[in-house]
Structure 1
């Protein structure tokens, strides 16, 4: 008789990791597989363990998916962010954790029929299991490519799985789509924003299908990938479009405040939210605000990212009619310290921000901060510095007491996981990639985001060509990618995986694109600060260089897994 608290064996095909599967604490430890699957309440309790996979802002002092992931062209990390892997690891949680979650989903799927509940309930929970299996396969496939397909929980006698070969990634993703479609058709259709339901299934489907559609369109055989598959690409892009359209018709609307999506202590009433992660004072905390408002150096915005924001005339840096100077203004004033008014100086970028996309001023501070020139946000708390001079204010909340801002493991603002802005972006990108974009499509998607950002609407013909377009795509696709970048700046590790699916990972080579590690222009600082600069720009490179190699389109398979099953093989370019 299997125990619910199964000991996991460290091997890929067994998809068991060295941890307990679930229900490993408290009185539920006494359950067995035979007496656990008896009612829907138990199933609900089991499925609640899936929520831990949504990192949001992180847990306690750990990092999440917002802000922390600095391997992109949007940030220069406070410590240099090289490639995730530079050598083949002996083991990897990136590999292990996904298989643990897939096994968790398969256990649910194998036991739903044993539970005394309605057919509707059984279909819902099958949908949950298939949704979570799809979600974790998606995350493994985008990182590792070809994988074994495992649709059952395993034990040590399952040699066919234990020592089998990897299946082509395209076939795996076709099966992922089957799981997603089942979930979309069968999960409970309710409006709860912190439960797995049909809306979440459609949101996952839109994200996954956009990744897959664009990946199949832009991949290159010469970079150790398959040749482009336009039939498959169009199929997945159409699935993206239909999933996004479904959510756009479900009554969600944009929140009036862009920043309010990120710094709220209660997202339950936010009309833009589809699914969010709740934190609660004295129960579950994160440390994101502490890392952007305390003495720990901030991983600042890059010059490359700063320059991607449009001006208020709707034009990019190269063609705007507005002031394009990026020299911060040196201002002399006063500040209050311990109740005493003392002289103060700042390098202000407030005037620059006033003529840019509003999202920029809701993402970074109005004053520069770097070594030798600290800045205290909201005039209270701890003096901050940034690796690039640009402070990150997007996730901070001035209404929180400093004890809940500046200390790690004390922050309790909620994290968005799926929200309407992402759906608008997915819809618009799918339309543009399919080549059937209409003005109506733009107006009901990204132009709503641009309106909130104080920008004029985008037209199908765009009306200008940005010389910064270095991706070889049309003006329309470039502008939609810009919109995605600026709307989702620092969010959910989005930028890195966008570069993967667009086949643009070479844009992270800092020897070719040095401005991805440069920061603010501090030409007007009259003091001789001891700080690395390139000309008058802060150098956030930490005197290091990130060099691109096409092998980085795939993570390496951990060597311990290849030792257990040599048929797994290694991904191209990675040597044991």
Structure 2
């Protein structure tokens, strides 16, 4: 069950639920009749789920779901040209995939029916817990994407058409089953099953994420506080399980968590994905942070403005020196330390989206060497990167925990205390600083104090000051790492991505063109580049106003996304099912209803 060396053999192919392999002869001695004999066999079977659920940096040039490249569709990123649009029409083809679920249900079935008398009770319960954990994980993903989905807790027969073409199961019924799977896993998965394997604390960390997601979705989208409370309580239970274990801590500087070749034994990390060129497991994410790649995206002005100042105040009210100076070097001295750890110190013309490189995913010494004119080492070119990815970090569990507690307080739970903040957000803010950061004047951010919360003039009035600051902390901690878009969806706040209402989504970092990028003030860029002042005024370069070109960079080709809110037959919060899938049901004499908010024909 290791991420490092996933063993994919006939067992994976024969039992994985992919019909294209079912009619092929055995490639090894393993068959469905002989595979479920030992714990090692079931362990081998479960190995294949790791890359599906724990993407990390992906592999090779496979960016789907990977950090950095997989998270450019949100209010954190500005893209060159038109900003990405939400789905606006029902697709003709494509459907949800049940391949993983069929495989997982098969595993659960075989462990339950073929191995109950072959395994010790502890081993039996552990592997049932592993299977049910992955099943709950996958159903959570489907529900978060589609809402109601057909639910199966068994292996479906190929000839049972009523089962194969069953209608969508109501979301709450599906998630109640997921809840039971998670509770079982939290009670029965081993506390330790070896290095780099899913243990009870990994289960708890993931459950803290998924239960919080469902709780907030129920509260803000469906207005179902009873169901929301159930999942908030589960998120708190899971988060406390990790925190109270004493196994994990915040001891590593921020950048090193993403630029290390080996995270083994790091107490900041519950689970990581290891990369090793010797076995052909590499990625390409760090290459996009090496200062030489041409990129068309970067941090938006909206994200840049959201970083808290080192005194714990928003920039509009801060007492740090010159808080309204948005030059990158000044931001590194005045903002939360994660800003300095995440971006290059000066604007770069090769990043046409924002001018600001996201260097969070490359070692500091490599960044400094390349910035000084040195070559990029081969392991940070192409798809030859071998830096590890922290799949599940302790800081995420802590932020999940404090958000769940704050949300639970709004639906009848106990109020958040200063002790809660000190054990979560303030513990994260106390993480060590890199030596290079200290040399630049970076300091740790002041603690968040319950009675002295920042008064942010940009705060959404529908969100309490406490939840606003918790959400800010989440945004700073996980920028370009976890899915910001998923947070906006579960908070029912996709309006934050409305470019008509939020002009800061169309611009990037602050730049003083005459002093920092004078080479860009050339005839070819006349009418192409512009800057946006703090007052929102836009100055377009016309060839003779170079001395006025200071502000937030905005390429003139940048256009807002098409309307997606309050549009008939468009629901940006849930994905539609394709027409071909609905037609397939109809040809068999069954009905598959379209996702809520989308046209039913």
Same fold (TM over 0.5): yes
Matched-pair contact (CA < 8 Å) for 2:88–2:564: no
Q: Cα–Cα, structure 1 residues 232 and 149, in superposed 2: closer, same or farther, change >3 Å?
A: same
Counterpart contact for 1:73–1:517, Cα < 8 Å: no
Cα distance in 2 for residues equivalent to 1:81 and 1:179: 39
Q: Does 1:360 align with 2:339?
A: yes
- Who is 2:406 aligned against? 432
Distance, in Å, in 1 between the alignment partners of 2:94 and 2:85 is 15
Give distance in 2, aligned partners of 1:572 and 1:197.
Answer: 37
Aligned partners of 1:237 and 1:56: how far apart in 2?
26
Give unpaired runs (5+ residues) of structure 2.
1-9, 367-374, 410-414, 432-442, 533-537, 539-550
Contact 1:193 1:274 in 2 (8 A): no
Cα distance in 1 between the residues matched to 2:92 and 2:19: 15
Aligned to 2:59: 59
What's the TM-score once normalised by structure 2's chain length?
Answer: 0.82
* Corresponding residue of 1:103: 102
2:553 paired residue number: 538
Alignment of 1:518-537 (within 5 A): 518-525=507-514, 527=518, 528=521, 530=525, 531-533=528-530, 534=532, 535=538, 536-537=551-552
2:572 and 2:22 map into 1 onto residues whose CA distance is 31
Say if 2:94 and 2:581, in contact at 8 Å, map to a contact too: no
Q: CA separation in 1, counterparts of 2:22 and 2:315?
A: 52
Query: Which of 454, 477, 481 lines up with 1:491 in the alignment?
Result: 481
Q: How does 1:332-411 map to 2 (within 5 A)?
A: 349-370=328-349, 384-398=350-364, 402-411=376-385
Distance change in 2, residues 1:25/1:462 (3 Å): farther
Aligned to 1:553: 573
Deviations 1:364-387 (A, max 9, x none): 1101112xxxxxxxxxxxxx4241
1:249 Cα deviation after fit: 1.4
* Count of residue pairs the alignment pairs up: 522
Measured in 1, the distance between the counterparts of 2:20 and 2:329 equals 50
Q: Could you list the per-position Cα deviations for residues 203-236 of structure 1 after superposition, in whole angstroms to 9, with x for gaps in the alignment? A: 12111110111111111xxxxxx4x111111121
Deviation at 1:91, TM superposition (A): 3.4
Q: Deviations over 1:398-455 (max 9, x none)?
A: 4569344442220111111111100110111112112210011111111111223711
CA contact (8 A) 1:396 1:405 kept: no
296 and 309 in structure 1: CA distance in 2 versus 1, 3 angstrom threshold: same
Counterpart-to-counterpart distance in 2, 1:428 and 1:32 = 47
Q: Which residue of 2 aligns with 1:448?
A: 427
Q: Look up the match of 1:256.
A: 252
Matched-pair contact (CA < 8 Å) for 2:314–2:455: no
The answer on 1:278 being equivalent to 2:274 is yes
CA distance in 1 between counterparts of 2:461 and 2:205 reads 27
The farther-off stretch of 508-517 and 176-185 is 508-517
* CA–CA separation in structure 1 for the residues paired with 2:55 and 2:394: 19
State the Cα deviation string for residues 449-494 of structure 1 (Å, max 9, x = none): 122371111122234321111251111110111011101111122x
Counterparts in 2 of 1:41-56, with a 5 A limit? 41-53=40-52, 54-56=54-56
How far off is 1:313 after superposition? Answer: 1.2
The match for 2:506 is 517
Shift of 1:517: 2.5
Match status 1:422 vs 2:396: yes
Equivalent residue, structure 2, for 1:412: 386
**Distance across 2 between alignment mates of 1:432 and 1:118:** 41
CA drift of 1:76 comes to 1.5
Superposed CA offset, 1:13-32 (max 9, x none): xx96665489x99943x532
CA offset at residue 80 of structure 1? 4.9
Tell me whether 80-89 or 558-567 shows the greater mean CA deviation: 80-89
Partners of 1:444 and 1:5 lie apart in 2 by 42
**Distance in 2 between the 1:229 and 1:475 partners?**
22
Q: What is the root-mean-square deviation in Å for CA atoms of aligned residues?
A: 2.5
Alignment check: 8 A CA contact 1:368 1:391 kept: yes
Q: Distance in 2 between matches of 1:235 and 1:454?
A: 36
Q: Which range moves more in the overlay, 467-476 or 105-114?
A: 467-476
The alpha-carbon deviation at position 311 of structure 1 amounts to 1.0
Q: Shift of residue 556 of structure 1?
A: 1.1
After superposition, give the CA deviation of every residue in 1:87-106 in whole Å (9 maximum; x if it has no partner): 3223347x22xx21111110
Distance 1:71 1:308 in 2: 17
Contact 1:241 1:430 (C-alpha < 8 Å) held by counterparts:
yes
Task: List runs of 5+ in structure 1 lacking aligned partners.
Answer: 9-14, 220-225, 329-348, 371-383
Q: Residue 525 of structure 1: SS of its match in structure 2?
A: helix
1:137 is matched with which residue: 136, 139, 150?
Answer: 139
1:475 maps to 2:465: yes
Shift of 1:110: 0.8
Q: TM-score scaled by structure 1?
A: 0.85
Residue matched to 1:466:
456
Could you tell me whether the CA contact under 8 Å between 2:282 and 2:386 is conserved in 1?
Answer: yes
Shift of 1:41: 1.2
Matched, 1:292 2:289: yes
| 1:426–1:368 distance in 2 versus 1, CA, 3 Å | same
| Higher alpha-carbon deviation: 292-301 or 107-116 | 292-301
